[in-house]
Amino acid sequence: MALYETRRRRNVLAKSLAVGATIFGLAWLVLILAVLLWEGFSGLSLAVFTQMTPPPGSAGGLLNPIAGSLVMTTIAVAIGTPLGILAGTYMAEYGRYDKLAFVVRFINDILLSAPSIVIGLFIYEVMVAQMGHFSGWAGAVSLAVIVVPVVVRTTEDMLILVPDTLREAAASIGLPRSLMIRKVAYRAARAGMVTGVLLAVARISGETAPLLFTALNNQFWSLDLNAPVASLPVVIFQFALSPYKDWQQLAWTGALIITLAVLALSIIARSLASARKSS
Amino acid sequence: MVDVAFEGGSAMTVRDQADRAQVLQRLRIGDIAFRHLTRAAAIVVLLILGGIIVSLVIGAWPALEKFGFRFLTSEVWNPVTEKFGAIAPVYGTLVTSLIAMLIAVPVGLFIAMFLTELCPLWLRRPIGIAIELLAGIPSIIYGIWGLFVFAPFLQQHVQPFLIDTFGNVPVLGNLFAGPPYGIGVLTAGLILAIMVLPFITSISRDVFEAVPPVLKEAAYGLGSTTWEVSRYVVLPYTRVGVIGGVMLGLGRALGETMAVTFVIGNAHRVSPSLLAPGTTISATIANEFTEAVGDLYTSSLVALGLILFVITFIVLAFARLMLMRLNARVGA
């Protein structure tokens, strides 16, 4: 009977720990979002989207970093997506079981979680040091390096889910393999591949570390990609660590904008993915 | 030819056949081109990794050449006299990650146990999504939150308590010595714990769900409690996967930059106290790289990056091997 009691007690303890751990984990999400909404909304106004970043002590907005982030993200996706889709296609369609695909899969998974600051150093060495100045291009390319593994992974996963019967049907009416991939497999996997791209955008829109010493920062309106370009995360980093109240407020507002954008992207991506699953 | 008969009986002219050959030729070339294009893209992924390693080694060479092995054993970090050693940032990186894992691993496993064994079905999806949202929040948000909200809270409420409780205990007292700054190694470790928690949770949940129900039902049928099933059936069965997930989380924690940079204090020294400011590899690079003057300074920072990359590469490779072993078994 004593043994029974001990086992029962241990079980109750473990169960309450499990419930407690879950509440603990969710509490952080609530705490972080609550503070972010509170601090961010109090500084949200039209000026944030129409004015440039101010010098310390005066009012201003976040127009130039928002524009810079949008431009660099767009270029990064434009470079990284085709590359990622093609590489994922090779791994799922041509070399599913060959050695190259195996190695690429392994390396890609490592790149997927590689520290982003190291990617910043890489692009610094390859582009900034060679060109002699910081530039928006370097920032965009470093973001593209982060996009590639995300897109490779989702493309491969989604193409593998496409039933082989579809491929066989296409082959049996004489469709060449490349056309089969583009006209049949891509269409069947489209929702999942779009999800991958959205997740990649969500991932890079908050990335700060690789931009710190590639795109640097720019206090003024500039979309010249051969010069330093401001970006939202870098401005948040700089402003949050400054002693000025105005700047700290703008940092919170910028943080709110990024978080809302990222959450919206991941919710859209998720609903796309689940729509596919249920259909 | 056989297929001529299928085309309504009309015989193919020589010209038709030539056209047909041309179309086929074009398709064949397109096919080969597309195949090689995708293959080239796959190789680019390898080149990216190769490029990272080569460029870091080249960039780090001047520092490695000058300091040699001492770079790994020296604590001095003095830009004025141009003497650099990596001990303090490496120590900070390891200690903050250790704190993070000590908290995040048990909590993550318990959450995964809750989600797979205890949670009512209708609640599973919302909680799962919430955990994944936590994983999606950019690290800079954790950083700004840590700096303005979490660090002051720790400074006012938690750290004084720790100092009062453990300050006079031998050995433990060293860990909690000094004034409560708010920012420091402990704060950075706690923020990292919150950040890697979702990664560990979602992977553990996925591998827990892969346990064949028959195994669990057999254990329940023998009268096991939920805890006993989790501890003695689910966990041993999924051990490889859980280790893989933990290593993946560790890889994240080691390389995390922004969240740590905000709250670590950027002090180049090895201090036994967890409350003291410290630094990590990534925080040092983020803070100092744009301001680094002189080739040796820049090169030393790149060398730090190289060390970080080597450490995370080993950890992540190990994680992937573990997860691959698991998949191989599930597939078999």
Q: Is A240 within 8 Å of B145 (Cβ atoms)?
A: no
Which of the two residues, A165 and B272, has the higher pLDDT score? A165
Nearest to B166 by CA among B157, B158, B176: B176
Which of A121, A113, A115 has its CA nearest to residue A138? A121
Q: What is the pLDDT of residues B21-59, one digit of tens each?
A: 998 899 999 999 999 999 999 999 999 999 999 999 999
- The answer to whether B42 contacts A100, with C-beta atoms less than 8 Å apart, is yes
Residues of chain A above pLDDT 90, percent: 65
Contacts with B113 from chain A: Cβ below 8 Å: 14, 18
Mean pLDDT computed over A15-27: 93
Strand partners, B84: B77
Are the beta carbons of A240 and B114 separated by less than 8 Å?
no
Does B201 touch chain A if contact means CB atoms closer than 8 Å?
yes
Rounded to whole angstroms, the Cα distance separating B252 from B311 reads 11
Please answer whether residues A84 and A152 qualify as being in contact, where contact means their C-beta atoms are separated by less than 8 angstroms. Answer: yes
User: B 75-104 residues with CB below 8 A of A?
Assistant: none
Q: How far is A16 from chain B (nearest CA, A)?
A: 9
pLDDT at B246: 93
Name residue, tokens 């490029």: B51
- Closest residue in B to A107 (Cα) is B46
Mutate to test the interface with B, among A12, A24, A103, A113 (most CBs of B within 10 A): A113
For residue B178, what are the CA distances in angstroms to A94, B150, B273, B279? 61, 19, 7, 17
Q: Evaluate whether B191 touches B102 at the Cβ level (below 8 Å).
A: no
Residue A116 burial (10 A CB sphere; 0-12, 13-18, 19+): buried
Average pLDDT over residues A158-184: 92
pLDDT for B32 equals 93
Across the interface, which of A28, A209, A213 has its CB nearest the CB of B258?
Answer: A209
CA angle A196, A89, A104 (to 5 degrees): 90
- Who among A86, A124, A208 is closest to B258 (CB)? A208
Model confidence over B291-329: pLDDT tens digits? 888 889 999 999 999 999 999 999 999 998 888 887 776
The pLDDT confidence band at residue A276, using thresholds 50, 70 and 90, is low
- pLDDT of res. B90: 94
- Yes or no, beta carbons of B55 and A125 under 8 Å apart: yes
Which of B227, B295, B308, B323 should one mutate to test binding to chain A, selecting the residue with the greatest count of A CBs within 10 A?
A: B227
CB atoms closer than 10 angstroms to residue B306:
24
The answer to whether ipTM exceeds 0.95 is: no
Contact B34 A236 (CB under 8 A): no
Compute the nearest-CA separation of B260 from chain A (Å).
Answer: 11
pLDDT tens-digit readout, B151-161: 999 999 888 88
Could you read off the pLDDT of A222-232 as tens digits, one per residue? 778 888 899 99
Q: Which two tokens stand for residue B297?
A: 């300074």
A146 interfacial to chain B (CB closer than 8 Å) = no
Q: How far apart are CA B289 and CA A201, in angstroms?
A: 26
